[in-house]
């Protein structure tokens, strides 16, 4: 399976609009892996997680054919994960798109935002089908099997992290998560994942309530090791970094490489053999 890390930043991106912090200035100067757009992941070109405002950039940069997407799953409705206005671009009059509808999966807040936005433009018009997911309910999509697991990210919305089974591989897409709720830790025991994608939004800041920091990621790895959550050869990748964490790509690599954890960058491709 081919996994593309399309964007690897939190809401503000790096460099952030209007920001003159040390990391944003450094990112502008160095470019390359220091530039981070808003987070999304693509599995085998047909399953996409989240639809951020940088999707146009991702398409152009990586030469993506977004018409190959069959299933689009959402973690939550925050604007760095859902930019519904650009879904309008698939409607008649805006694109010569294929006949197949893209199956969209998410919580109530996500589906409502998409429906309201598309309703201003003539409705779904069989280009999208909206499917509501419930926590812990195993769902067979066209491209994979997914189980939404509760996150501790925003108390007014059912934010999900996802367990995904695709082509014999098991993946945890773990953000935006904060420190996982107890029922999510319990559910993960013994799952034998091939890949866990975690957030390290706030870097070394002493905070883990709605986003994870470095210590929370390392403790998560420890929990995984003690509870059979990963296969021995499994990958752990960290992503979704905020400029407020003030850690460059090389700082993050220095922190995580000794722990066997990979630091994602924009455009990174991971092959799961």
Site for Zn ion in 140-199 (CB under 5 A): 176
Check residue 67 and report its DSSP letter.
Answer: G
Shortest distance, position 10 Cβ to Zn ion, whole Å: 5
In terms of CB distance, is 16 or 37 closer to Zn ion? Answer: 16
Shortest distance, position 74 Cβ to Zn ion, whole Å: 11
Identify the residue among 7, 8, 9, 16 touching Zn ion (CB under 5 A).
Answer: 16
Identify the residue among 33, 48, 243, 249 touching Zn ion (CB under 5 A).
Answer: 243
Half-sphere exposure of 94 (CA within 13 A, CB side): 12
Shortest distance, position 249 Cβ to Zn ion, whole Å: 15
- Distance in angstroms (rounded) separating the CA atoms of residues 207 and 60: 35
In terms of CB distance, is 151 or 234 closer to Zn ion? Answer: 151
Shortest distance, position 189 Cβ to Zn ion, whole Å: 26
- Distance in angstroms (rounded) separating the CA atoms of residues 82 and 9: 14
- Distance in angstroms (rounded) separating the CA atoms of residues 62 and 41: 12
- Distance in angstroms (rounded) separating the CA atoms of residues 135 and 138: 9
Question: Is residue 54 a contact point for Zn ion (CB under 5 A)?
Answer: no
Which residue in this structure is represented by tokens 């769902």? Answer: 139
Question: Is residue 89 a contact point for Zn ion (CB under 5 A)?
Answer: no
Number of residues engaging Zn ion in binding (CB under 5 A): 8
* 133-142, Cβ contacts within 8 angstroms, sequence gap of 24 or more: 133/73, 133/105, 133/106, 133/107, 133/160, 135/160, 136/183, 136/187, 139/105, 141/47, 141/70, 141/71, 141/73, 141/103, 141/105, 142/46, 142/70, 142/71, 142/103
Q: Which of 236, 186, 188 is nearest to 212 (CA)?
A: 236
Shortest distance, position 250 Cβ to Zn ion, whole Å: 17
Shortest distance, position 206 Cβ to Zn ion, whole Å: 19
Shortest distance, position 89 Cβ to Zn ion, whole Å: 22
Identify the residue among 4, 78, 191, 208 touching Zn ion (CB under 5 A).
Answer: 78
Identify the residue among 34, 71, 80, 194 touching Zn ion (CB under 5 A).
Answer: 80
- Distance in angstroms (rounded) separating the CA atoms of residues 106 and 158: 9
Identify the residue among 1, 19, 64, 268 touching Zn ion (CB under 5 A).
Answer: 19
Identify the residue among 3, 6, 9, 24 touching Zn ion (CB under 5 A).
Answer: 24
User: How big is the chain by its Cα radius of gyration, in Å?
Assistant: 18
- Which residues make up the interface to Zn ion (CB under 5 A)? 16, 19, 21, 24, 78, 80, 176, 243
């Amino acid at each position: 399976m081919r996994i593309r890390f399309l964007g690897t930043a939190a809401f503000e991106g790096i460099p952030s609009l209007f920001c003159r912090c040390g990391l944003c200035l450094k990112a502008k100067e160095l470019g390359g892996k220091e530039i981070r757009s808003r987070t999304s992941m693509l599995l085998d070109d047909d399953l996409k997680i989240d639809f951020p405002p940088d999707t146009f950039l991702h398409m152009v940069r990586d030469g993506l054919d977004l018409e190959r997407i069959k299933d689009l799953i959402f973690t939550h409705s925050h604007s760095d994960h859902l930019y519904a206005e650009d879904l309008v671009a698939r409607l008649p009059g805006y694109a010569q798109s294929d006949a197949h509808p893209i199956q969209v999966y998410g919580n109530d807040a996500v589906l409502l935002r998409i429906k309201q936005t598309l309703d201003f433009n003539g409705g779904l018009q069989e280009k999208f089908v909206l499917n509501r997911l419930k926590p812990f309910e195993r769902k067979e999509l066209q491209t994979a099997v997914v189980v939404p697991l509760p996150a501790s990210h925003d108390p007014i919305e059912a934010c999900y992290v996802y367990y995904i089974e695709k082509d014999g591989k098991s993946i945890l897409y773990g953000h935006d998560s904060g420190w996982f709720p107890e029922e999510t830790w319990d559910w993960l025991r013994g799952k034998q994942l091939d890949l866990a994608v975690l957030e390290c939004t706030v870097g070394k800041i002493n905070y883990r309530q709605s986003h994870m920091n470095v210590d929370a990621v390392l403790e998560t790895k420890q929990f995984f090791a003690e509870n059979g959550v990963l296969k021995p050869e499994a990958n752990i990748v960290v992503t979704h970094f905020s400029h407020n964490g003030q850690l460059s790509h090389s700082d993050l690599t220095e922190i995580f490489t000794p722990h066997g954890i990979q630091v994602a960058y924009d455009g990174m491709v991971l092959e799961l053999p």
